[in-house]
Amino acid sequence: MDPKELFSTNLIDGKIVASHIERQCSPLPSVIVIGAGISGLAAARSLYDASFEVTILESRDRLGGRINTDYSFGCPVDMGASWLHGVCNENPLAPLIRGLGLTLYRTSGDDSILYDHDLESCMLFNTDGHQVPQQIVMDVGETFKRILEETGKVRDEDPDDMSVQQAISVVLNSHPELRQQGLSHEVLQWYICRMEAWFAADADMISLKTWDQEHVLSGGHGLMVEGYDPVIKALAKNLDIRLNHRHACIIYRMT
């Protein structure tokens, strides 16, 4: 299916923005989009479908940004984004994925073997290959919840924003009984890493004020069986994309 039919303002308001003849005969307003991640591609696709002349500058040698589907194992493996969180029309990706006929493996049902939001049920192993006792995993999990609760108090008391990592340090300095040692410390780092994986950022880059302010969409979660690469290719179709174009600065001029 043509991506213009899937991701276009034409479908939203039911109006024809410009005919093919107008696109060829009239001078088109031009726009440069920085970055060929999914946000840049989606913006460029909308502009292109609204009859703008669009050029995308991407510093890497590939499309997708944080989306990177690897095929070296003979099957698609997403090295970055891989889930669709919120399988509903409120999520703009859901109609696009549905229109492309891509398969979702639902991970929010009781019969899913990939459902991992119950962190205490995960089996952890140390660097020697031995399983971490489940009681340690559960106890440290409760401690981590307590630490996060205390970071909320730090947020309420400090008008300035800080990173989650900074807030955790403040909490541990104020409540040394929450510090973990040995294997428990390693498990605590695992909990922090799981948090970092959710936000695709290190804890020292996650905002304390906004980390838990997300709006959770309905519809549950689904894993992209064929990877996100087909979505990227659909959004990028027919667009003028310049790879290996790193921009040093952007100069704004009032006209």
204, 159 in Cβ contact below 8 A? no
**Does residue 69 register a pLDDT over 60?**
yes
Looking at residue 253, its pLDDT comes to 78
The verdict on 132 and 195 lying in the same domain is yes
Looking at residue 19, its pLDDT comes to 45
Confidence of residue 216 (pLDDT cuts 50, 70, 90): confident
Domain total of the chain: 2
The verdict on 132 and 66 lying in the same domain is no
DSSP labels, the chain = --HHHHS-HHHHH------HHHHHHSPPPEEEEE--BHHHHHHHHHHHHTT-EEEEE-SSSSSBTT--EE-TTSS-EESS--EEE--STTSTHHHHHHHTT--EEE-SSTT-S-----GGG---B-TTSPBPPHHHHHHHHHHHHHHHHHHHHHHHH-SS--BHHHHHHHHHHH-GGG---HHHHHHHHHHHHHHHHHHTS-GGGSBTTTTT-----SS-EEEETT-SHHHHHHHHTT-EEETT-----------
Q: Is residue 50 part of a domain?
A: yes
- Residue, of 25 and 228, whose pLDDT is higher: 228
Q: Is residue 88 part of a domain?
A: no
Structural domain for 44, as ranges? 27-82+227-254
The verdict on 248 and 187 lying in the same domain is no
Percentage of the chain lying above the pLDDT 70 cut: 84
Q: Is residue 7 part of a domain?
A: no
Looking at residue 26, its pLDDT comes to 62
The verdict on 231 and 195 lying in the same domain is no
Confidence of residue 133 (pLDDT cuts 50, 70, 90): very high
Looking at residue 12, its pLDDT comes to 38
**Does residue 64 register a pLDDT over 80?**
yes
Q: Is residue 42 part of a domain?
A: yes
The verdict on 190 and 244 lying in the same domain is no
Looking at residue 110, its pLDDT comes to 60
**Does residue 5 register a pLDDT over 90?**
no
Q: Is residue 219 part of a domain?
A: no
Confidence of residue 126 (pLDDT cuts 50, 70, 90): confident
Give the mean model confidence (pLDDT) for residues 39-54.
Answer: 96
Domain end (from 184, 199, 214)? 199
**Does residue 16 register a pLDDT over 70?**
no
The verdict on 231 and 193 lying in the same domain is no
Mean per-residue pLDDT over the chain, rounded: 86
Q: Is residue 2 part of a domain?
A: no
**Does residue 109 register a pLDDT over 90?**
no
- Answer yes or no: is 72 a known binding residue: no
Q: Is residue 14 part of a domain?
A: no
The verdict on 121 and 189 lying in the same domain is yes
11-15, 59-63, 65-69, 116-120, range with the lowest pLDDT? 11-15
CATH number (domain holding residue 48): 3.50.50.60
Q: Is residue 189 part of a domain?
A: yes
